[in-house]
Amino acid sequence: MSRLTTFRSTATPHTATGTATGVNSESLSGLDLSGTTHTNAGNYPTDPWTFTDSTGNYNDANGTVNDVIGQVSSTTTVTVANATYDGNPHGGSASVTGAGGLNQSLTVTYSGRNTTVYGPSTTPPTNAGEYTASASYPGDANHTGSSDSKDYTIFQATSLTTVICPASVVFTGSPLTPCSATRNRGWGLECRSLG
């Protein structure tokens, strides 16, 4: 005698079901399956059952049943968003959920993709490029493993180059470098004349 079910929740115990019938196929009371109650996934090959006759017409009986509670799946989710280079690392987060209250954060691993060379590393990338964030859950006694990955991009930042020159310079017969240039975040080329 065996029974297969699936783990659902730490708050949901599972008990084998069965019936006792008489010689005329009538249902008999007295079947006790309380020894087959379990909550966690697993193989329980020697769960006891007993039958105690209340009519005096049948012999009492007992035996065992092989109960199997199967694992349920888990769900891993990676969350990440595109960003623009700002000198700071940009990464995401990951978590796993499942029946029975499974809900915990996971470590995210980052790898470069296409022409971006990076990782694998658990440190979020800083430089502009194309990346993949991934995470996995190995599973536990009640849940099977799962994994997820998301692609994202850190876009290049724009810049503003400023060239500053004096209004005039005195001829010396030698090469002169009167102008200076600075580059800041922003966009385009700006020329300024002093004087």
The string of pLDDT tens digits covering residues 108-132 is 999 999 999 999 999 999 999 999 9
User: pTM higher than 0.75 for the full model?
Assistant: no
Most confidently modeled range among 34-48, 66-80, 106-120, 158-172: 106-120
Average pLDDT over the chain, rounded to an integer: 86
**In this structure, are residues 70 and 7 in contact, taking their beta carbons and an 8 Å threshold?**
yes
At 103 the three-state DSSP class reads: strand
The predicted pLDDT at position 1 comes to 43
CB-CB neighbours of 193 under 10 Å: 11
Pick the CATH number of 74-155 from 1.10.150, 1.10.4160, 2.40.160, 2.60.40: 2.60.40
Q: Averaged over 22-36, what is the pLDDT? A: 92
As a whole number of angstroms, the distance between CA 21 and CA 178 comes to 107
The domain segmentation of the chain, as residue ranges, is: 2-70, 74-155, 159-194
pLDDT at 169: 74
Whether 11 shows a pLDDT value over 60: the answer reads: no
User: Which two tokens mark 161?
Assistant: 């180059």
10 Å Cβ neighbour count for 119? 16
For residue 95, the model assigns a pLDDT of 98
pLDDT of residue 176: 66
Distance CA 13, CA 10 (A): 7
Question: What is the number of other CB atoms lying within 10 angstroms of the CB of residue 12?
Answer: 10
